[in-house]
Amino acid sequence: TVFSSSGVPRDGSFLRKSTASVGGIGVVPWKNPCEETVDGREYWQQFVSGIPMSASLLVTGEKVELLGVCRQLVGRKWCYTNHFRFCGAIQLSTSAFQKDVLHHLHHFAIDLARKVGLAGLIGIDFILPRTPKQRRAQSPVVLEVNPRPTATMELMERCTGRSQAGMHLASLGVPLLRESIALQDGSKMYWGKAVLFTNETLTVSASVEQHLVKCSSCLQGRESGWPMVTDLPCSGTVIRPGHPVVSVFGVAESPRLVLRMLRINISKVMQGL
């Protein structure tokens, strides 16, 4: 990561990112020879081919707990977005990772917490490079650290029943009832969510609002007790192209099936838009 374009090759091997954006907004390959920079508002990272992921951790004093790992969904066409835009995540089993990967993330978080005084829920975005079969060792490439609760953490809450807000406040010294942060009966199901965008101006009518509310309570997975469509826009809302419409959830016995369920649920939501 560098904070000056001086010496950064303009061949697409680096990405230009904004210091004041989220969800992959404004991330572009750095290759236009005529493109100008804005001092102090941009930085550059080398492009790394691999699987985009995120780790959710709870920092309490000197202790760091790994809550879970997700595969991020980025630029999926069926979410009506592209390029590097974040459009969801799918919960993974930590047992699917090599111990060295989790060990690296855990100690990275411990060192960071000690150096800058992090506390509470934090998220680490990283790339897991694709390696040849003969080279089994994998090292995560950390992209950024979010010193706050992140968009993927609600998947862990749906799975375990542990209040993410409660854990965050308790780690900062706020007294809470133990029941509010206790681990409930852990589900063996996996959760995922996808953010549905619009590629054209969408005015939310009363019928669209009713359709979204119905989807929230009728899509497969509703028996879990959680709404399956959230971030519902109100009737009369005008959503511009490239902006999110709703968040759609899926739950299944494996991450692969969760991905399939997300695509099915997205298509059902789209039928009423």
Render 158-186 in DSSP notation, one character per residue.
HHH---HHHHHHHHTT----GGGT-----
Residue 165 lies inside a defined structural domain of this protein: yes
Global pTM reads: 0.88
Residues 62 and 12 grouped into a single domain: no
What 3-state DSSP class applies to 220?
A: coil
φ/ψ of residue 15, rounded to 5: -110, 140
- Sign for the pseudo-dihedral over CA of 29, 30, 36, 37: positive
Q: Cα(191)–Cα(91) distance, rounded to whole angstroms?
A: 6
What 3-state DSSP class applies to 238?
A: strand
pLDDT confidence of residue 108 = 92
Q: Cα(44)–Cα(36) distance, rounded to whole angstroms?
A: 13
pLDDT confidence of residue 178 = 66
Residue 185 lies inside a defined structural domain of this protein: no
Angle between helices 153-160 and 164-171 (to 10 degrees): 110
From the CA atom positions of the chain, what is the Rg in Å? 20
Residue 56 lies inside a defined structural domain of this protein: yes
Domain span including residue 9:
1-47
Residues 126 and 199 grouped into a single domain: no
Residue 100 lies inside a defined structural domain of this protein: yes
Residues 205 and 108 grouped into a single domain: no
Residues 32 and 53 grouped into a single domain: no
pLDDT confidence of residue 171 = 86
Distance of CA 73 to CAs 10, 49, 83, 112, Å?
27, 15, 11, 26
Residues 140 and 244 grouped into a single domain: no
Over its length of 273 residues, how does the chain's per-residue pLDDT go in tens digits? Answer: 888 888 888 888 888 888 877 777 778 888 876 667 766 788 888 888 899 999 999 998 778 999 999 999 999 999 999 889 999 999 999 888 888 899 999 999 999 888 988 899 999 999 998 776 545 567 899 999 999 999 999 999 999 888 888 889 888 888 876 665 555 555 689 999 999 999 999 999 999 999 999 999 888 777 778 999 999 999 999 999 999 999 999 999 999 999 999 999 999 999 998
Residue 177 in contact with residue 168, Cβ under 8 Å?
no
Which residue stretches of the chain are H helix? 99-116, 153-160, 164-171, 206-218, 255-270
pLDDT confidence of residue 201 = 96
Residues 20 and 126 grouped into a single domain: no
* Residue 54, domain CATH: 3.30.470.20
φ/ψ of residue 138, rounded to 5: -125, 140
Domain count, the chain: 3
Beta strands in 32-140 (DSSP E): 42-46, 50-60, 63-74, 86-92, 120-129
pLDDT confidence of residue 14 = 87
Closest CA to 68 of 131, 142, 162: 162
Closest CA to 273 of 228, 214, 217: 214
